[in-house]
Structure 1
Amino acid sequence: MNLLSGEYECKLDPKGRLVLPAKVKSNLPEPSGNQLVLVRGFEPCLVLYPQAAWRVIHDKVMALDEFNEEYRQFQRNFFRGMTEVELDAIGRFMLPRSMLRYAGIEKEAIIVGLGNRCEIWDPIRYEEFLIKDQQTFSKLAQKFLSVDTPLLGGPTA
């Protein structure tokens, strides 16, 4: 499985299209590499999923009990604005105006590869959401990546 990684500065064209960086495009899984799903992120950003990765997330959310009010609210908000996008011959795709407004993206964007997905941020908002304090980042790394955590299969406390 190819992993989406890296951080890329991009510019939107006047029509609101964004060119997916070649490194990201080359790591999209085949055969549906040109078919992607765009959703609103939990933070003020957009999230771009390859079809296969989206299907896993979609199935988890759809498995929630529709007769539970909290689950319905989550489903409604999670799927709100979901858009299937297709890359053109040069790797561009259209970002709907409503999605651009949600993320505060105007002319420039940062694409961040996060394994199974990419986030698309307004550059200023992205900087605001990054951890500035190295000590805080170090503590999180220790918490989540310690050999004593279930994440890496080690013993738990």
Structure 2
Amino acid sequence: MLLGEYEHTLDAKGRLAMPAKLRESLGSKFIITKGLDGCLFVYDMEQWHQLEQKLAALPMSRKTARDFTRFLFGGACEGECDKQGRVLLPANLRRHAGLEKDAVIVGVGSRAEIWDAGRWNEYNEENAEDVSELAEQLADLGI
């Protein structure tokens, strides 16, 4: 399970140090792709294959299924940490997430998310009140 919030800085080559605790859970190779809300999603290979199977089962006759599949797979790449624990983030993924220097890596259970630090702070400020409302809605569902 991927948990925690970690602040790191991208180097000049676009490499980002992955926290040791997350590296252990992600394994030696993992998938990085465009995420929702302006971040990147990071999946271990098992979670990625499960997601891949779910997307393959969607009816390709539905435009939303085709669009989402293109979004997720078209932006995906295989990640692997170097000896210093850094992963190279391709330019297209850095652009998508607005990553230039300061980043926040967040473990959210089945995946990690990589955020530009400024975007992460804005997201948290904008959604602070929504979390209480969401918690109430989830309580109605028994969670």
Q: Do they superpose with TM above 0.5?
A: yes
Q: 2:137 maps to which residue?
A: 143
Q: What is the CA distance between 1:128 and its match in structure 2?
A: 1.5
In the alignment, the residues of structure 1 paired with residue 61 and residue 129 of structure 2 have an alpha-carbon distance, to the nearest angstrom, of 44
User: What are the superposed Cα offsets for residues 3-37 of structure 1, whole Å, 9 maximum, x if unpaired?
Assistant: 11111000111111111011222333xxxx11110
Q: Distance in 1 between matches of 2:132 and 2:17?
A: 34
Of all paired residues, the percent bearing the same amino acid is 40
Distance in 1 (CA, whole Å) between partners of 2:127 and 2:55 is 34
**What's 1:71 paired with?**
65
Residue ranges of structure 2 left out of the alignment (5+ in a row): none
> What is the alpha-carbon root mean square deviation over aligned residues?
1.7
The SS at the match of 1:137 is: helix
Q: Output the CA distance in 2 between the equivalents of 1:8 and 1:141.
A: 24
Could you tell me which residue of structure 2 aligns to residue 35 of structure 1? Answer: 29
Q: Distance in 1 between matches of 2:126 and 2:94?
A: 26
Between 1 and 2, higher relative CO (CA 8 Å, sep ≥ 6) is seen in 2
Of 87-96 and 130-139, the range deviating more from structure 2: 130-139
Q: How does 1:54-133 map to 2 (within 5 A)?
A: 54-132=48-126
Asked whether the equivalents of residues 131 and 137 of structure 1 are also in contact (C-alpha less than 8 Å), the reply is no
1:72–1:133 Cα change, 3 Å: closer
Q: Is the 8 A contact 2:106 2:113 kept in 1?
A: yes
State the shift of 1:132 in Å.
4.8
